[in-house]
Amino acid sequence: MTSKILTTSAGAPVADDNNSISAGARGPLTFDNHYMFEKLAHFNRERIPERVVHARGTGAYGTFTVTRSLKDFTIADFLQNAGQQTEVFVRFSTVGGGQDSSDYARDPRGFAVKFYTKEGNWDMVGNNTPVFFLNDPIKFPDFIHSQKKDPRTNLPNPANAFEFWANHPQSLHQMTILMSDRGIPLSYRHVHGFSSHTLSLYNAKGERFWVKWHFKTNQGIKTLTNAEAAQMPAHGAQQDLVNAIDRGDFPSWRVEVQIMTEAEARTYRINPFDLTKIWPHKDFPLIEIGRLELNRNVNNYFAETEQVSFAPSNFVPGINASPDKMLQGRLLAYQDAARYRIGANVNQIPVNAPRCPVNHYQRDGAFAGMGCPVGHGATAGAGATAYPNAAAAVDALNFYPNDRTANGAPAPVAAVAPPPMPALENAWIGYHDQSEEDYYTQAGDLFRIMNHEQKAQLFNNIAGGLSQANTDIQQRMLAQFAKADPSYAEGVKQAIAALV
């Protein structure tokens, strides 16, 4: 039988569906990734109107307080001095389920923080795990499809998830976390948060540093077993957060960073931009730099929590991207998803509106000129009104360059530009296969620090789903576990046998 050729939606044959085009094996993606863009753009439009992922969530306002200055590493205004406070909005979520799903699914938890700084909004879009299932965005739609309901039965199908993981060893580290005792948090107050991605900082000297962000819960980590989770109300995590804040029991997190120089990154034994891998703390210790506290609930869930929009591309001067391939894909995909769900003027919705003057030449579109509430804005001026995100200008300008910048029309400021992004020397742009990467060592390291009870939970949680897959998929997964640690594979094998 002739095998079918994978094509684009326009019918053109696809050369590689596993790797995006990048400038070298560790380099950033290039703009000729039209097939990856097509997949992500189509994926963002598969559901109307709830989020395709992270649909079920809850959020609250709070404050971020600097406890240690980062001015040696960044020009970001809100990180200059100890004691500085910045208003934030944080949204927690499950990933795979819809709005009608349970807060207690075995699933990663989204941990997204919007910092309303004086120089614009910075969105730290992360999860409660320091790694992710993938390191290339071209596979994200396929991964989520494998986790969602089966397209034929519209029922959960664990075999599909393990079939995907069997074909993608890069998922092993995150899958091990998901199937461990950390897979079902007791509440959103009892989870850590991570940028997961490698981001960058740059200072007034033009020096760039690579950085990972960590938010460590001061409430402690608390989790549930499968049996305990089954007894919890579907909305329990949302109710817990709302009630805690209402009674004045404000949850908080220690904010810490890991920092790596560009020179260290060039010779480090681990690809520092691989989202499936951590930076070991012994090599890059955690540095405590702040405190995050949530202290105010929303007034209208739909207007605020449901319409809040986070995008990794919302940077401020002093914070920027890295060659992390997943991050590079999300720089496009998150904004695209928001424009699809909410519209081109998503940043004019009050919860998304910057708390500083906004001056640009974007015009029109649905809901243009909504503005934000009085008190959130800044002084009106050329190109801005008292509603800082409103797209109105004194002379109704909608183009740049123009001859009126001397009279107050908006103009760029070259001083805030990030340093040029480094690329590997003599890097070739093309598909770079990652099948020989080591995706097993860190998963094995995690397994070996688990105690007996934690390992037993891991084995049983994996066996429950993997036992529903066919023998070939089981054997390929067991081979991955064995590469991480032989005891890992043996424990899962015995757990599956116990279910027969």
Q: Give the contacts of 150 (CB within 8 A, at least 6 positions apart).
A: 156, 157, 160
The yes-or-no answer on residue 54 being catalytic is yes
**In this predicted model, what pLDDT tens digit does every residue of 376-433 receive, in sequence order?**
333 222 233 333 444 443 347 888 888 888 888 888 888 889 998 888 778 888 999 9
427 or 198, which is more confident?
198
82-108 average pLDDT score: 95
CA 135 and chain centroid, separation: 12
List the catalytic residue out of 127, 157, 271, 347: 127
Question: Using 50, 70 and 90 to split pLDDT, how confident is the model at 374?
Answer: very low
**SS3 assignment, position 57:** strand
Whole-model pTM: value is 0.90
Radius of gyration of the chain (CA): 23
Residue 197 burial by CB count (10 A; 0-12/13-18/19+): exposed, middle or buried?
buried
**C-alpha–C-alpha distance, residues 74 and 207, integer Å:** 9
Mean pLDDT of 115-127: 96
Q: Cα dihedral sign for 212, 217, 220, 221?
A: negative
Give the DSSP H or E segment for 291: strand 287-297
Examine the pLDDT at 206 and tell me if it is beyond 90. yes
Cβ-contact 486, 440 below 8 angstroms:
no
C-alpha torsion sign, points 322, 324, 326, 328: positive
Active site residue 127: yes
Q: Could you write out the DSSP letters of every residue in 385-454?
A: -SSTT----TT----SS-S-GGGT-----GGGPPPPPP--TTPPEEE---TTS--SHHHHHHHHTS-HHH
Q: What percent of the chain has pLDDT over 90?
A: 74
Average pLDDT along the chain: 91
Q: Alpha-carbon distance 268 to 65, whole Å?
A: 32
In the chain, the domains with their CATH numbers are: 40-342 (2.40.180.10), 357-408 (no CATH), 440-500 (no CATH)
Between 26-40, 309-323, 440-454, the lowest mean confidence (pLDDT) is in 26-40
pLDDT at 398: 83
User: What mean pLDDT do residues 268-282 have?
Assistant: 97
- Helix, strand or coil, per DSSP, at residue 463: helix
pLDDT score, position 31: 86
pLDDT for 34 equals 85
Where does the pLDDT of residue 48 fall: very low under 50, low under 70, confident under 90, or very high at 90 and above?
low
Q: What letter represents residue 472's amino acid?
A: D
Band (pLDDT 50/70/90 cuts) for residue 114 is: very high
pLDDT-derived band at 2, boundaries 50, 70, 90: low
Please pick, among 19, 33, 44, 54, the residue that the annotation labels catalytic: 54
Peptide bond into 401 cis (omega under 30): yes
Model pLDDT, residue 366: 77
Q: In the predicted model, is pLDDT for residue 18 greater than 70?
A: yes
